[in-house]
Structure 1
Amino acid sequence: MSQGWGWGSLFGGNAAKSKDAPKNAILGLRGTLDMLSKREKHLQNQMDEQDAIARKNVNSNKGVAKAALRRKKNYEHQLEQTSAQMLTVEREISSIETANINKETLDAMKHAQQAMKNIHGGLTIDKVDQTMEDLREEHAIAEEIAEALTQGSIGQGVDEDELDEELAELQQEELDNKMLKTGSVPVSDQIQRMPAVNTGAVSSRQQRVEEDDEEEELRKLQAEMAM
């Protein structure tokens, strides 16, 4: 079988240009390969049959045995031709599949290139650089406008008394919440709400309390000694 088979010789010039030409060519070649495979099996069976006849008559009838060997050689030659044809067809199938894959890959790359071209359109590096520069200028203008609109209004006019009053309200709200939950005022909060006391007076009273405690302890000790 000739190795010069092509799409045009198999299916005609018009079919080779159609979209389904590679698929049709492969289907046709696979059909041929299947036929050759069946022929190969048939020839092998014929060879085995003639070999059996030759073995059976090798001693009793040499003429029959020799004729069987001759037919076996003929079948063997046909089998070799069939095997070569099968190899040629398989090679053609592989070639068409590879060519079809190459074509599909190239077509996909062309479509991708066209899509990129459409996306970029008339874009150039200079246009991109100019656009980015314009954006930076617009951002700078926006920052200046925002600063001008807020200048003199943020961070000024804060009344410290108002802050103290607001803080006291927050403390009172927190205390009220704790009273609702526990039913009593925590000692720490009571201390925080107590008015400021002169530290000197507190120290003097504490010292007198300590002295009274010492006098009391001394009287208890004297009473124990008297007993």
Structure 2
Amino acid sequence: MNLFFAKKKEKATPKDAIINLRETLSMLEKREAHIQSKIDAEVKTARANLTSNKRAALLALKRKKMYEGQLEKMSGTRITIEGQAMSIEAANVNLETMKAMERGAAAMKLIHKDLNIDKVDQTMEDIRDQMDLANEVSDAISQPQLFGPEMDEDELLAELDELEQEELDKQLLNSGRVPVSLPKLPAASVASGSGRVPVRSPVAVRSPVAVRSPPVAEHVDEEDDELAELRESMGMAM
């Protein structure tokens, strides 16, 4: 046995203190129930000896009063212990809350250790630059001139008109009629309602060789001869 060094007392944790107080309350409740049973027994004894033995009845009432005094003190002790247990529980909740908040603050410090507003701004600027670059690349890819030179729509329409005129000339020559070239007319305006609507000039009728219309002949033979000469001059076989 060590007589020189006293055993160091262990620190009571809030959990242990609350458990101890709850056990004490349970003991007090059992003690109160036991005392209450004795009070009921003394009352029963007093009633039994009320007429036959008044002295025994008085002693029973005295013991009843003593038990009631103990019961009252025990009730006050219970109230005190319950209040202490509730205070410890509330303090323990506050302690755990503060510990959790401290751990949260430490975690935030660790996160923000290598992070500041300048880095955030730079990161956002880099993101915007990359998004702008992605949009420019997408626009460049979607441009049609990558698949060939840009074409003028007016030139395409003019070429289309020429093809239509050539097709018309072929049809007229095959049918035996002489194609006539019409002069180009400037754009005119015609009245339409309350305003004037521009009208596109008709497409000039082109012919491989400009030929005047022959004069009206009185005989069919003369027309046939002229038509034969026209075909010969155009290099067409009879």
Q: Which residue matches 1:44?
A: 36
Q: Confirm or deny that 1:90 pairs with 2:94.
A: no
Supply the AA of the counterpart residue of 2:111. I
Q: Which residue matches 1:110?
A: 102
TM-superposed CA distance for 1:116, in Å, is 2.1
Q: Which residue matches 1:188?
A: none
Q: 2:48 aligns with which of 44, 48, 56?
A: 56
Q: Confirm or deny that 1:70 pairs with 2:66.
A: no
Q: Which residue matches 1:35?
A: 27
Q: Where is the strand percentage greater, Structure 1 or Structure 2? A: 2
Q: How many residues align?
A: 143
Q: Aligned equivalents of 1:100 and 1:52: distance in 2? A: 47
Unaligned regions of 5+ residues in structure 2, if any? 1-7, 152-238
Change (3 A) 1:82 1:69: same
Q: Which residue matches 2:11?
A: 15
Q: How far does the alpha carbon of each residue in 1:14-54 deviate from its partner, in whole angstroms, 9 at most, with x for none?
A: 413xxxx1111111111111111111011101111111111
Q: Which residue matches 1:211?
A: none
Supply the AA of the counterpart residue of 2:81. V
Q: Aligned equivalents of 1:141 and 1:64: distance in 2? A: 108
Q: Aligned equivalents of 2:148 and 2:35: distance in 1? A: 104
Q: Aligned equivalents of 2:49 and 2:148: distance in 1? A: 122
Q: Which residue matches 2:181?
A: none
Change (3 A) 1:146 1:57: closer
Supply the AA of the counterpart residue of 1:48. D
- TM-score, structure 1 normalization: 0.55
Q: Which residue matches 1:212?
A: none
- Map 1:192-207; keep pairs closer than 5 Å: none
Q: Aligned equivalents of 2:17 and 2:148: distance in 1? A: 83
Percent identity between the two aligned chains = 48
- Map 1:126-145; keep pairs closer than 5 Å: 126-144=118-136
For 2:97, what is the secondary structure of its paired residue? Answer: helix
Q: Which residue matches 1:215?
A: none
The alignment's C-alpha RMSD in Å is 2.6
TM-superposed CA distance for 1:81, in Å, is 0.7
Supply the AA of the counterpart residue of 1:153. L
Q: Aligned equivalents of 1:144 and 1:63: distance in 2? A: 114
Q: Aligned equivalents of 1:62 and 1:156: distance in 2? A: 132
Change (3 A) 1:124 1:53: same
Unaligned regions of 5+ residues in structure 1, if any? 1-11, 159-227
Q: Which residue matches 2:171?
A: none
- Map 1:157-168; keep pairs closer than 5 Å: none
For 1:15, what is the secondary structure of its paired residue? Answer: coil
Q: 1:153 aligns with which of 137, 146, 158?
A: 146
Change (3 A) 1:87 1:130: same
